[in-house]
Amino acid sequence: MCDELPRSMSIAALTTRCMEELHNYGQGAPSDERFGMELFYRALMQHNSLAWEAIQRCFHETMCRWAHNHPLWNIANGYDSEENYAAQGFARFWQAMTGKQDGMFQSLGAAMKYLRSCLHAGIVDTLRTYSRARVVGLPAPGEAGEPYSEDDYDCSELWQVISHLIPQKRERRVAYLLYHCGLKPRAIVQFCYEEFNDVQEIYHMRRNIIERLRRNADYLRNRLGYDIFGE
């Protein structure tokens, strides 16, 4: 184990250590997020282009894996490659974060979660571009292509907690599309036409879901450690 502090390390050394720690984490071994955090600090706060290039090298494989496991991948791969979706995700992340004065994340997991949200946005936007010519659908729950929890960074704790509070299968499917996939009601009708063809039904079920969650606000607060309604 190297005792050198990340702040004093070169970008090349940080890149090597970051990739090693990501590998360790993927293998279930103890890992240290400080090296990845230092790269994000230099890229976002110091505007170091070499650090940003290093981040893309370190997380490229992860972004490609996320793209392949995306719930819309069975459609999205007909329009572009994992590598290009990953590149789009990185570009969205950089554009969104470099203009912020307080653009540093509190943990590597938070940074990776935002990277994944940028990847998701790029995939959905690509499908919207082509959706006028073709009606597309999401994979049904449990089918190949639906995301699963690979690690703590990927895990949607909010969705896991919410799913246990919604007994009806159809409402639980809508909740999955809303809160796990991040789709809006009109996007659900657009991408899941065979399952849902009435946007008003989606709005109605969303109201029912929110009311159920509000009735269980104390339970959610205790499980998650924060108030999802911001009250």
Residue 147 lies in a domain: no
Same domain for 15 and 116, yes or no, is yes
CA dihedral 72, 66, 146, 158 (to 10 degrees): -110
Among 152, 95, 160, CA closest to 121: 95
21, 58 contact by CB (below 8 A): no
The whole-number pLDDT of residue 224 equals 67
Among 155, 151, 82, CA closest to 123: 82
The whole-number pLDDT of residue 139 equals 41
Full DSSP string of 96-108? HHTT-TT---SSH
Same domain for 117 and 171, yes or no, is no
The whole-number pLDDT of residue 203 equals 92
Residue 96 lies in a domain: yes
* Low-confidence residues in the chain, pLDDT < 50: 1, 132-155
The whole-number pLDDT of residue 51 equals 95
Domain of residue 216: give its range: 157-224
Same domain for 91 and 203, yes or no, is no
The whole-number pLDDT of residue 101 equals 66
The whole-number pLDDT of residue 131 equals 60
> Based on the structure, what is the number of domains in the chain?
2
pLDDT in tens, 124-160: 888 777 664 343 444 444 333 333 333 333 345 666 7
Residue type, position 140, single letter = A
Q: What are the φ and ψ backbone dihedral angles of 209, each rounded to 5 degrees?
A: -65, -45
